[in-house]
Amino acid sequence: MSKVIETMDTDESDAKGGFRETISTILWALGIAFVLRTFVFQPFHIPSGSMVPGLVKGDYIITSKYSVGYGRHAATPFPFPVRKGRIFERELERGDVIVFRPAGYDKDFIKRVIGLPGDQIQMKNGLLHINGKPVGIEIDGTHQYSNARTGELQLETFSNGNVHQVLNLQKGDRLDNTKPFPVPSGYYFMMGDNRDDSLDSRLTFDEGGVGMVPKENIIGKAEIVLLSVNDDFVIFKPWTWSNMRSDRWFKDIK
């Protein structure tokens, strides 16, 4: 008895081959995107004003992963095989703007590195003190934070040469005077540039802040503002695209 050989016409073969090629291309694209997001760059959205004036609500920023190394949250929401420290770790510098995930939270924060391991940080009458010495400031004008609040802009200069603006909304705020905070080995002390409207390392998790940030919880260093939008911007509604802020494209983060 002769064997029956199944045949497939050319159109059917081409269709199946095209489908497999499409799936393969999608899988490769997803894999490349995952690798880039995990090891090179990751975008983030700024949802609040705690880093005003440098970063404002509605900013979309790009962070670099390779510049800080890879900790436990490098591939979030997927697990990353790090428990302590960071793979290919690079030490942070005072003044770096960093995205991290505080202990006890399931969301990411962005703040400025103020205290390095071994430092002592304290606020006295609204002035930052590092290791017992006041940080130099200069008055740099005013900033309209909201319809009802205008604050004083200050240029803050660290000993390593980092210069950045901070916003002082009011004198005598509850965070203007703190106890001394010794920064343990393996941790960083973070603060927002909007000093009177930032829940940061000056407060513990139980107090609504982020506490000291362990080095393995560092995610990336903020590099640029890619674009910025107002609250009523929706990507799928072209008539709202005019609500992009034209003065915040590709803006360096200092």
Q: Which residues are catalytic?
A: 50, 111
How far is residue 182 from each of residues 46, 130, 188, measured CA to CA in Å?
29, 10, 10
Strand 109-115 relative to strand 97-100, pairing = antiparallel
Q: Distance between CA 70 and CA 90 in Å, rounded? A: 9
How far is residue 46 from each of residues 27, 40, 96, 108, 112, measured CA to CA in Å?
30, 20, 16, 10, 14
Read off the tokens for 36: 């880039």
- Contacts with 66 (C-beta within 8 Å, 6 or more apart), sequence order: 39, 40, 88
Q: Report residue 65 CA to chain centroid gap.
A: 11
Helices (H), 133-227: none
Which SS3 state, helix, strand or coil, does residue 33 take?
A: helix
The residue length of the chain stands at 254
Whether 252 contacts 229, CB under 8 Å = no
Q: For the chain, give the longest Cα–Cα distance.
A: 99
Burial of residue 8 (number of CB atoms within 10 Å: 0-12, 13-18, 19+): exposed
Read off the tokens for 24: 């393969």
